[in-house]
Structure 1
């Protein structure tokens, strides 16, 4: 159990008891990432066929009701609720979501990063994007091969809790590692940075 995550959820003082009950159940399984001394990003991954029925039973509802409430959570609490292909739910929340504007962008060039940026690596340049989550203190990337369906979930999603990247250099490293299985000759992070244009 993550006492920090449970304390954070209790501190939100949510008016809806069902929402609070679900969030406390998630908090009990949460991983906490700390930047400095304070917790900033909290996240949990759930298996749709195993974790969702267990959590639903603990919340006193059926699995479909629980899924529906999960999808609604991000409209009630500052957080990301992402349904990946393969039955994986990724839920990310925490103080960096509720205390927006407290984190500064860190890049190797010290130039501000704003908006959605194209990822211009050949073979991945048609739909792939990256950027900085303003106020959350981390970078992200959504990577599609050019042959992928742009309406589907990204082939590779660089985002917390699996990746907490706070510099462009770290983002390039994460992308280089993630795309290596898809490339005959995987490019190093230094080359990936060339395709992170901003």
Structure 2
């Protein structure tokens, strides 16, 4: 905790509570595995009470936490929260070694998304903890630390194949496009690094 440098005692207590309840498969691989927790709407008052906070105070702490710790904090309309953190998730530099083309059989780690205009920060891959593929799509003009414009993650999405992921990403990208994108092109940007 000291290495994170959280000076706000209340924020530190909230982060510690989340960290204690985060599950990941293999502690010895924690450097390579994103960590995360999904809080359902019923978890919020329970966690807040555990810390002696009101539910809204706890939610405010969650909203502010990403300013203190490199993490993504997503608040959903249904009252649930997705919180993902850990060095392999927030340090975008290390990426899995790439095969010539990524397939359903060799998806592992974090992969780049090569769509022009969206290729600077966007990533996708297999989330071992959730048991599905995910995508985090960020426009090149957006701040790297801002909330991504597009999240393809549970509970709303749980794609098992690259084809499914490509369809979800295409549907989410189309409102940003003058002309609808073909799914096959989006799949290519997911799976093939451009030449040159």
What band does the TM-score fall into relative to the shorter chain?
0.5 to 0.7
- Deviation digits for residues 90-133 of structure 1, max 9, x if unmatched? 0101122454423346365379644526xxxxxxxxxxxx9426
Matches within 5 A, 1:12-51: 12-32=4-24, 37-39=29-31, 40-48=33-41, 50-51=42-43
CA contact (8 A) 2:167 2:183 kept: no
CA RMSD of aligned residues (A): 4.3
Question: Structure 1 regions of 5+ residues with no counterpart?
Answer: 1-8, 118-129, 143-152, 180-190
What residue number does 1:196 align with?
Answer: 187
TM-score normalised by L of structure 2:
0.56
Rounded to whole Å, the distance in 2 between the matches of 1:77 and 1:18 is: 13
TM-score of the two chains, using structure 1 as the length reference: 0.55
Q: Which residue of 2 aligns with 1:65?
A: 57
* Distance in 1 (alpha carbons) for counterparts of 2:92 and 2:122: 16
Which runs of 5 or more structure 2 residues have no equivalent in the other structure?
A: 103-110, 125-132, 138-147, 170-181, 190-196
* 8 Å contact from structure 2 (residues 24, 30) kept in 1: no
User: What's the counterpart of residue 175 of structure 1?
Assistant: 165
CA distance in 1, matches of 2:113, 2:27: 20
Q: Secondary structure at the match of 2:34?
A: strand
Q: How many residues align?
A: 147
Aligned to 2:135: 140
